[in-house]
Amino acid sequence: MTTYHGEPHDFTDKSAGYERLAAQLRGLLAGESDPIANAANTAALLFDALPDLNWAGFYFLRGGELVVGPFQGKPACVRIALGRGVCGTAAAKRETLIVPDVNAFPGHIACDGASQSEVVVPLLAAQRLAGVLDLDSPRLARFDAVDARGLERLAELFVQASRLEQLL
């Protein structure tokens, strides 16, 4: 890999910002398929690039529950059952979940008390659930539909580049 230069990331035009981020992620993952390495670099890129985050990272489906993977932010809860919390709900429904106020989400699991809003994108590899990508913000209503679509694209790039079956 070439040296990562933390360029100033511009999200004034959010869609354009996500397009640039997708190109950067493609470059970062090119030629590497190790799922831990790719998850670590993806989490680091997102945490560095996106404004107003206090947590960005992965939970992977292992033994029927979500287990924390590489992330940036404060230490997090390790295991989340499917259907529990924002992560477990998005995973069970296989749908991206935007939560504008985590305190209003029944069953939200508070790992970092600073989190006010959250978005969770399920990771689907050949239609099988492999885990989730989770982002938390200290700002209420930080994530909208443009973030959701942008993050889904980034999650897809990560899934395509990585041999997730190595995690089972």
Q: How far is the CB of 39 from ligand SME (least distance, A)?
A: 14
Q: Which residue is nearest to ligand SME (CB)?
A: 85
Q: How far is the CB of 13 from ligand SME (least distance, A)?
A: 28
Instruction: Pick the closer one to ligand SME by CB: 34 or 65.
Output: 65
60 binds ligand SME (CB under 6 A): no
118 binds ligand SME (CB under 6 A): yes
Instruction: Pick the closer one to ligand SME by CB: 24 or 123.
Output: 123
CB 92 within 8 A of CB 82: yes
Instruction: Pick the closer one to ligand SME by CB: 21 or 91.
Output: 91
Q: State the binding string over 13-42 for ligand SME (x if CB under 6 A, else -).
A: ------------------------------
CB 88 within 8 A of CB 66: yes
Q: How far is the CB of 124 from ligand SME (least distance, A)?
A: 18
136 binds ligand SME (CB under 6 A): yes
Query: Residue 103's closest CA among 94, 92, 122, 116?
Result: 116
d(CA 7, CA 1): 16
Candidate segments 5-13, 20-28, 107-115, 157-165, binder of ligand SME by CB under 6 A = 107-115
Q: Which long-range contacts link 67-73 to residues 24+ away (Cβ below 8 Å)?
A: 69/36, 69/39, 69/131, 69/167, 70/36, 70/39, 70/40, 70/42, 70/43, 71/43, 71/134, 72/43, 72/44, 72/46, 72/47, 73/47, 73/112, 73/136
d(CA 141, CA 121): 16
Q: How far is the CB of 62 from ligand SME (least distance, A)?
A: 15
